[in-house]
Amino acid sequence: MVVELLKIFGLSLMLMISPVNAASDFEFENIDGGLLNLQDFRGSPVLIVNTASRCGFTYQYEGLQKLHDKYSEQGLVVITVPSNDFNQELRTEAAVQDFCEINYNLSLPMTTITSVKGSRAHPFFQWMKKQHGFTPRWNFYKVLLDPEGNLVETYNSITKPTSPKITSKIEQFLKKDS
- Catalytic positions: 55
CA dist., res. 140 & res. 129, Å (int): 17
Burial class of residue 147 (count of CB atoms within 10 Å of its CB; 0-12, 13-18, 19+): middle
CA dist., res. 91 & res. 144, Å (int): 27
Whether residue 22 contacts residue 124, with contact meaning beta carbons closer than 8 Å, is answered with: no
